[in-house]
Every structure is written in structure tokens, then in C-alpha cells.
Amino acid sequence: MIVYTYSVVALDPTTRHDQPGAFFESLDEARQAVRILRNEVMRDGAEWAPVRIETLEVSPIVTSRSLVRLLNDGIASLVQRHEATETIS
């Protein structure tokens, strides 16, 4: 199963999937969410930090065991592969 998320580029890559975050079904949805966030941050006069959009391949949740694992350990426990897809500055 492929999902998309985003994280601040400066965030430690070894812990970023342990943080609560937003997940999306498509790359376009993730891009749109980051652009909206960037516009809100800039409108408020805050400094924008570059954000990476990531593609995550996660184990399918098809058993009660995988669901319990997700609930107890978070999404990071199901990530099989991840890659930075693009950066929005």
C-alpha cells in the first residue's frame, strides 16, 4: 500500500515517521496540503521551513495483529520503504 506524507526537511530522518502527521492517498493531495500550509504560515508572517513530501510503502492492514501493531506502535511500525519524493521551499 502506498501513502504520502510530509515532514520538515530539518527534522531528524530517523524519527520523523514516529511523529503524528497527515497521510494522503495521492501525491497531488499531499502537494495541495503543503501548499495550503505554506500559504497560511506566510500569511501569518512566520518563516517557512522547506518541507519534503514522502512516499511511504506500508504493510497492508489485513489482520487484527497488524491493526493492533498500528494502534500500539504507530505508522512507523508498518513502513517497509520510504523515499523523499520532492521538496517544497
pLDDT computed for residue 13 by the predictor: 65
pLDDT computed for residue 80 by the predictor: 92
Q: Would you mind telling me the total number of residues written for the chain in this entry? A: 89
pTM: 0.82
Is 57:75 a contact under the CB 8 Å cutoff?
Answer: no
Q: How far apart are CA 17 and CA 56, in angstroms?
A: 10
Q: Which strand (E) or helix (H) includes residue 80?
A: strand 79-88
pLDDT computed for residue 34 by the predictor: 96
> Average pLDDT for residues 40-68, to the nearest whole number?
92
pLDDT tens, residue by residue, 14-51: 666 566 579 999 999 999 999 999 999 999 999 999 99
pLDDT computed for residue 16 by the predictor: 61
Where in the chain are the domains?
Answer: 2-88
